Structures are given as structure tokens and as C-alpha cells.
Structure 1
Amino acid sequence: MPHTSRRNFLKKTTALAGGLAFSTQLAAKAHSSVDDVIRIGLIGCGGRGTGAATQALSTEQNVRLVAMCDAFRDRLDASHKNIAGQLADNDLDAGRLSVSEDHKFVGFDGYKKVLELCDVVVIATPPGFRPIHFEAAVNAGKHVFMEKPLAVDAPGVRRVLKAAKAAKEKQLNVVVGLQRHYEKLYTDGWVEMMQNGAIGDITTSYVYWNSGGVWVRPREAGQTEMEYQMRNWYYFNWLCGDHINEQHIHNLDVGNWVKQAYPVKAAGFGGRHMRNGKEHGEIFDHHAVEYTYADGSRMISQCKHWKGTSRKVTEIFQGTNGSAPAPGKLMTKSGYALLDHNARKDPNPYQTEHDVLFAAIAKGEYKFADADNGAKSTMTAILGRMATYSGQDVNWDDALASNLDLSPAKYDFKADPKVMPMADGFYPVPVPGETEVW
């Protein structure tokens, strides 16, 4: 892809960032009534894939899960069993799970078979595979629900953006699992009022994902290096992109959404303080980044995985005429509450994003094109990682133009990933001031 200027890259697409509501008739296959069966395929059978498939099967439409694939058979079997259990627990028709043995595919190329059998695909593999699977889904003319983030490096982001353009041309609905765009706490006035100036110009944004971290999967006897890294995928950048990308993207995305813009540069620092074993691969356990927007405003970003420390996962905004101290709350300078949303009875946004997607598909409507914003918020996270890994100030245009491709030369369990353990069993870790991020 030729070098893309930031001006052409943005092109006012932030208007699409809030769970897009433009309505035209589908050029692709339309399901004109709820009596038509909508066939679902699942690519990636881990915990999030299992949850997303169950939520898709919990919509009001006549839906069937007809095909599944995963790199590992045990993951596929566990997912199938869990989905069946969830349907039973929620008194849903067991027939909604209609995956025969010959529609269960294992290995790196199983997604190709799934796409031959479905109308809508749920993509929930580790993020490193997202550009490949999304591109294939769009080429096959499928509607898509895919989890975030959408890539782990700039070449992957560019690939997603190209596929997103094709999805629009084909009028394929695409929903991305940045579920805050479907959560009433955010959509019931909070973001829109700030965009319309309720607290003045946003001068500083504060976004956080500070928590204790996630699972670790230990190395097992007989595993190849490729299988080990695939099983323990969170700790390798070609699969995950670091936790600033895999988790903190949610908060960074909200910052961009409120500003209706994407940063022009980033500077920051990070490292490994508590999570620094062999099993923790190459990623950092903390990042602190200062992003700058074109209007000079700043987004202050923190994310960490430190056990036993305070947890903070939220977004806060400071405006010239007031503040947003938490999602759903807006205050004037004098302390008057402009908005105080009570979210206790709000619907589950993880379910809502599937409800609206499948409702649109059943009606033959084109309403959702989330991939552009998903790719750019992914790029925001990658921009921050590039800054913390290198210790340098990094511009958006330079970062997006990077040709550093993290993917392995070959997708095969006998092939080696690009990052391999050293003689002592530890993996090389980025060193600010030395690590090249281009």
C-alpha cells in the first residue's frame, strides 16, 4: 500500500465510530424475514469466541451455528460443549447448535472451509490472525462480527483498512467487539454531549486499564515452539500485540471517539517490573503514553498488569467548561451534574452488539461498518507500543507507514516464529533506546 497521508487516512471516518447507523438495502444476500435461517461460522474457539458465538445464538433471529474451526481440536471440542451448555442453561433451542463432525475444522487453514458454509462469520482468533481472516471473509461476501484489536502491526492495519473499504462497497455489515459503542453508559448521551460541547473543548483525556493481568499457559512436553506460542499467545507480539493493544484499546478507542479524531504522535515509557518470567514471553507489563491530537490536546494513557495493586479501568475527560469524571457523568465547573447515568439496569453490551447486527442482517439492512474505526484505534495502541518500546517520539504517519511485519514466514506447527527463546529460555525483550520499531 502506498504511503497514506494522515489527512486522507482520516477523511471524517470518525463519524462511523459509534456503531454506525446508516440504512440502505443490502447488495449482498439479504435475509428478508426472521423465518430465514442465518448460518453462522465461528473462527477461533477460545473463551471469547465461545462467548461471542453463544451471544450470536441468543439473538431473536432464526440463527444456526453450522461450522467451527480452531488451530487445536481440544479447544474446538471444549467450545462446542460449552456452547451447548449455555444454550441449555438459557432455555434456548439446542438445534441452534448445528455443527456436524464434517463441519469442524482444525489447523491454520480451517477458516477457509468455515467461510464456504456460513452467511455471517464470528472471528475471535488471536489478533495476529485478524487481518487474514477479515480479508478472507470480505472476499467471500460474509457479514462479520470480529473481536478487537484488528491487527498487531502497521502492515496488518493497512490490510484491514483495505478490506474495510471492500466491505463497504459490498455493503457487508461489520461489527467490532469494542462494545462500549453499544453500551448505554456511553451511548445514552455521554459521548454525544461531549462531542457537542457540553463541557467545552476537551483539553485533556485520561484513559486507564490498570489490572492484575491475565492467564499464563505453561509449556508442555513435546510442544513445538509454534504450538507453545499459539497456546500462550497473550505474551507474544505477533499474536497479541502486547496488552496495550489487546486490552487497553478499549479505553484508547473511547478517547478517540470523544475527540472524533486520532492522535498525531505519541511518547511514553514502559517495561517489565512484576511479570518478567520465561513464560511471559516478550511483552511489557506496564505502559505510560502521552498522545497528542492535531488540536494540541493530550490523551494521558496508563495500562499495567501488576498483581496486588490498585485496579482502574475507565476514561475521564477535562473540558474548558467542565469535566467528565467517569463514564455516564458530566459536571460543570461549579459542580452541577449535566448527566448522571444509572447503568444498573442497562442491557449487556456484549449481547447488544449481536442483537443489532443480526437484526440488520435479517431485515436486509446495511447499518454497521465498524472496521475503519477499529483499525484506527488498533493503530493508536500500536503507536503507543512503538513509543514505549523504542523510547522515541513517534508520529502517526511514520508509524502507519512502517513495514515491520511481525508475522511468521510460514504458518505451520513445525515452523519457527520470528521471536525465539534464547539459550537461557528467556525471550528477547524490547529495550528503549535500542529497539527498532520500523
Structure 2
Amino acid sequence: SVIESVKIAKQKNLAMVAGFCWRYDYAKRAVFGKILDGSIGDVRAVYGTYLTGPVKPMPKAETRPAGMSDLEWMTRNWYNFTWLSGDGLVEQAIHTVDWMMWAMQDKPPVKCTATGGRQIPANGGNIFDHISVAYEWEKGVRGFIAQRQITGCYGENSFYALGTKGNAYISRGAFTTDLNGERNWKYEGPTPDMYQVEHDELFASIRAGKPINNGDRMVTSTMAGIMGRMAGYTGLEITWDMALNSKELLAPQDLRDWNGKVEVPPLAMPGRTKFS
């Protein structure tokens, strides 16, 4: 498993850098530093969005080249299948989920509920085009994630943390406010490319003999996204332990035959799709 791989990497002193690139963005580091150092007090709730259009819409079946196998067709249109992309919440909006987990000190949520579905008919595939998840931590702390991939709608990729002393925002900048909404801090430092920073710090850690391994938080953020999808697909309240111990298998049973027949599971239907 990925969890076991993270442990082995630590034992062998190997680097493991997750693709959660915003953790290497200077402005984001600064505002989350404010959240984590108590500048806004105790975090009571967070709200994150990833509202955008379709990433890679499923093409019409008649555009499929003659002789192309099911697996190749799926692989070329990977975003539209849960076993390849994980759904938009787990593939794209997972970065917003990671912001939430960052603000929560990477502590797993206790449970979550979700609503979602596919509003716009697709040419195939089996992913939702919208989902909203409500997470809960100990002491009643809440986290809310809204994800949508529908053309012609309002777009936003923002994050808000609400504390007992003030609030923090990532929306056209990174800043904090007091409880009356008055800004009391704004990031105005350098803004190097976060991808370059990510690589620079990785290489520097290896050269120093102290390789970065942020696999634990990678696992936690990804699992939080997965449990949100599970809640949305089944309509159930999903606990962290349920998700972590789930026997769900999204991938086809046999992938050894590239040219074999692969059945696509139907689109999930909350209340009918079973948790496993």
C-alpha cells in the first residue's frame, strides 16, 4: 500500500515529495503559517472551493478509432473514469482538500457526509460533475469543500479559515482579517514559481542527506478526498476508519489483456450504490 511505501521510504532514508504543490507556494505558506501560529485563534471552520469547467470531457463514442481496445479508450480519456482519475474531487479539487488538511494540522477528520451527482449528461465515463462535502473533527470543528466541473457556471478556487480571533483567506491574494472583516495582514513577499521551489527544496534535501518525505500528509489529504467521494457516491455518513479499512476496488479485475473487454461500472447513485 501507499502507507507502507511511505514507511519503507523513511526506513531507507529516501525522498518522497507529494504533488501537493501549493505547500511550496510562498504566499500560501505565509497565510497558513498565520493560521497555525494562532493569529486567528482556534480554527472553528474552513471552506474551500474548486469550481471550474470540465477538464477533459468524454468524447462521443463514434469518435473512437476502429480497433481501439477498451483499455486504451479509457486510458486516453482517463479523467472520466473513477478507477483512473478518482473523480474530480480526488483528482483536481484534492488540492483544496489539502488546504483544508493543512489548516487542520493534517489531522484526519472523524467523519463526513456529502451530496453530489452528474447534472450534465456525458458521453460516457462514470464520474460526478459536482460534489460538496461536509467534514467533522473533534470538538465540532467543521470543514466544507465544494467542487464542480460544469461549463457556464461561476468559477472560483478559494479557501477560507474562520477562527475565534479572526479569519484567513486565499482568494486573489493571501490575507487575514479581524472578526469584523477588517484586514490586518496581507502577504506582500516574493512569489517564486512553486513548482521550482518544490524541486529546489527536494534536490537540496537530498544533497544535504536529509531527504524530504511528506508522504504521511500526502496519504492523509488523499484519503480525506476519497472518503468525501465515498460519502457522495453512497449517500452514507463515512467515518475515517470506514474509509481507511474499505475494500472498495475501482479498477477492473483483470488488466493483463490490453485488448480484452472491460465493463464500465454505472454512475454511482446515492442511496443505492453500496459501500464496501
Q: TM-score, normalised by structure 1?
A: 0.59
Q: How does 1:13-412 map to 2 (within 5 A)?
A: 159-188=1-30, 190-216=31-57, 218=59, 219-260=64-105, 261-274=107-120, 276-279=121-124, 281-326=125-170, 328-342=174-188, 345-361=190-206, 363-411=207-255, 412=257
Rounded Cα–Cα distance in structure 2 between residues aligned with 1:202 and 1:177: 25
Rounded Cα–Cα distance in structure 2 between residues aligned with 1:273 and 1:336: 38
1:392 CA drift (Å)? 1.0
Tell me what 1:37 maps to: none
In terms of mean alpha carbon deviation, does 331-340 or 226-235 score higher? 331-340
Rounded Cα–Cα distance in structure 2 between residues aligned with 1:404 and 1:335: 44
RMSD of aligned Cα (Å): 1.6
1:335 CA drift (Å)? 4.1
Larger Rg: 1
Any idea what SS the aligned residue of 1:267 has? strand
Rounded Cα–Cα distance in structure 1 between residues aligned with 2:266 and 2:58: 19
- Whether contact under 8 Å (1:217, 1:231) holds in the other structure is no
1:364 CA drift (Å)? 4.1
Describe the shift of the 1:263–1:416 C-alpha distance in structure 2 as closer, same or farther (beyond 3 A).
farther
Describe the shift of the 1:194–1:315 C-alpha distance in structure 2 as closer, same or farther (beyond 3 A).
same
Any idea what SS the aligned residue of 2:83 has? coil
Rounded Cα–Cα distance in structure 1 between residues aligned with 2:47 and 2:96: 9
1:183 CA drift (Å)? 0.3
- Whether contact under 8 Å (2:58, 2:123) holds in the other structure is no
> For this pair of structures, how many residues does the alignment match?
268
Rounded Cα–Cα distance in structure 2 between residues aligned with 1:398 and 1:286: 23
Rounded Cα–Cα distance in structure 1 between residues aligned with 2:67 and 2:139: 54
Describe the shift of the 1:366–1:273 C-alpha distance in structure 2 as closer, same or farther (beyond 3 A).
same
Q: TM-score, normalised by structure 2?
A: 0.92
Any idea what SS the aligned residue of 2:184 has? strand
Rounded Cα–Cα distance in structure 1 between residues aligned with 2:101 and 2:129: 23
Describe the shift of the 1:329–1:163 C-alpha distance in structure 2 as closer, same or farther (beyond 3 A).
same
Any idea what SS the aligned residue of 2:159 has? strand
1:292 CA drift (Å)? 0.4
Aligned-pair identity in percent equals: 34
RCO (CA 8 Å, sep 6+): is it higher in 1 or 2?
2
Rounded Cα–Cα distance in structure 1 between residues aligned with 2:228 and 2:29: 26
